[in-house]
Amino acid sequence: MAFKLSRRRFIAGVGVVAASSTFPLVRALTGPLYPAMDLSYFDTPIRPEPGNFLIGCAAITWEGKDRQAIDEIAALGYRGIQLRENAVKEFRSPEELRDLLFRRHLTLVALSSGNVRLDPALEAEDLAKHTANAKFMRDAGGLYLQVIDQKPKDRAVTADDYKRLGRLLSEIGKRTQDLGLPLGYHNHMGACGERPEEVDRILDAADPRYVKLELDIAHYVQGGGDPVKAIEKYRDRLLFLHLKDVVNADPKTSPKGRPYRFVELGRGRVDVPAVFAALERVKFRGWTVVELDGPTDASRTPKESAAISKDYLEKRLGQRV
C-alpha cells in the first residue's frame, strides 16, 4: 500500500508539472500581458550629475576665538565651519556647540584633531585623543575628522616611517569610521606629507577604506605640486579641500621666517579657477573650506580676510557662498 501511495503522489506531481508547462503556450495564444511601450528613451545615456561645491570657512584665522569666529563666519553667509581641537575644551559639551551652530545655520564640516606622531611610546595616547575628538564631533553633529602628521625631529623620514604612518592613520580611520566620521589626511608643509610624492607614499601605505585626502591647495603648490593633478589622481579618495593662496616671501621679514606666506584667495600663485574646473570635471560633490592661518595684514581683521576670499569666489568664479 505504501508503494502504491507513493506512486500516486508521483503521478500527481508529474501532472502538475505537465500542466504548468503549458502556461507559456496559453500566454502565447492569448497575446502579451502588457501593452507595447516606446523604449527609445532608454537609448540616451544618463549624464553624471554635475559637481556641487559647498563652501565653508575655518575658524583658525580667529586664533582661538571660536565663538567670535562662529558669529562672524555666519554673518558673512558661509554655510559651514571648521574648528580646531581647542573647541573640545572651549565648549562645555558637544551639544552646546551643536545648538549654537544650529542657531547660526552653520554645518560643522570638520575638526582639526591635531598631529599623528611616529613615536611608538606616544601611539596609544594619540589613538585615544583622536578617538575622543571623533566622539565629540559625532555628538556635535560634525562630518569629518582631520589629522596632520608630525615629522620626526633631527632626522630624515625613512621608508619605515611612511609605513608606520600609514598604519597609524588606518587605525585612527577605522575608529572614526565606527563613529560615523570619515578621516581626512591633511597635506602640510613641514610634515612627512609635504611634497606630492610624499603624499603619495602616505596614502599608498594607508588603507583607502579608512583614510581619505583632505587636500590643501596652497600647501600642495608650495610643496611643489599641482592641485589639479592631485584632484584628478585622488578623485575617488578626495574628502574635502582647504582653499587659500600662497605668495613668495622674504624669510628675513616673514613672520615665521618662511620663504612663503599664505594669503587670501586670488592674491597669490595658486590657479584657483583651474582647481574649481578640475572639481567640476571629476564631479566632486562635497565641502570646500576657506582656510587661512591668520590675518595677512596687521590692520586686517579675520572677518575682513574671510570676506576677501568670499568676494573672490562669488565675483571671480561665480560660486555661491
Half-sphere exposure of 5 (CA within 13 A, CB side): 2
Element (H, E) at 183: strand 183-186
Q: What percent of the chain has pLDDT over 90?
A: 79
Residue 11 — pLDDT band, cuts 50, 70, 90? very low
Q: Which of 314, 311, 246 is nearest to 276 (CA)?
A: 314
Checking if the pLDDT of 4 tops 80, the result is no
Reported as a single tens digit per residue, the pLDDT across 85-114 is 999 999 999 999 999 999 999 999 999 999
Q: Copy the grid coordinates of residue 219.
A: 600647501
- For residue range 196-214, list pLDDT tens digits in order: 999 999 999 999 999 999 9
pLDDT band of residue 294 (cuts 50, 70, 90) is: confident
Rounded to an integer, the average pLDDT of 268-272 is 98
Name the β-bridge partners of 112: 84, 146
Rounded Cα–Cα distance for residues 319 and 313 (Å): 5
Question: Which positions ≥6 away from 190 have C-beta within 8 Å?
Answer: 151
Segment 144-199, tens digit of pLDDT: 999 999 999 989 999 999 999 999 999 999 999 999 999 999 999 999 999 999 99
The predicted structure's pLDDT at residue 51: 56
**For 256-274, what is the mean pLDDT?**
95
Residue given cell 503521478 in the structure block: 11
Is 249 in contact with 205 (CB distance < 8 Å)? no
Range from 125-139, 192-206, 260-274, 286-300 carrying the lowest mean pLDDT: 286-300
Q: Write the CA distances from 38 to 28, 31, 43, 55, 299, integer angstroms.
A: 21, 18, 11, 43, 68
Q: How far apart are CA 121 and CA 192, in angstroms?
A: 19
Q: Which of 87, 83, 79, 84 is nearest to 56 (CA)?
A: 79
Q: Is the sign of the CA dihedral 282, 287, 293, 296 positive or negative?
A: positive
Q: What is the pLDDT of residues 36-93, one digit of tens each?
A: 555 544 455 444 455 588 999 999 999 999 999 999 999 999 999 999 999 999 999 9
pTM of the model: 0.84
Q: What is the pLDDT of residue 298?
A: 84
The pLDDT of residue 256 is: 79
Sorted by where each begins, the domain ranges of the chain are 2-43, 52-316
- Select 52-316's CATH number: 4.10.320.10, 1.10.1040.10, 3.40.1360.10, 3.20.20.150: 3.20.20.150
Q: What residues contact 293, with CB distance under 8 A and at least 6 apart?
A: 60, 61, 262
Model pLDDT for residues 208-236, shown as the tens digit of each residue = 999 999 999 999 999 999 999 999 999 99
pLDDT at 155: 93
Higher pLDDT, 25 or 248: 248
pLDDT at 6 over 60: no
Q: What's the pLDDT at 233?
A: 98
For 74, the grid coordinates are 555666519
- Model confidence at 24, pLDDT cuts 50, 70, 90, reads very low
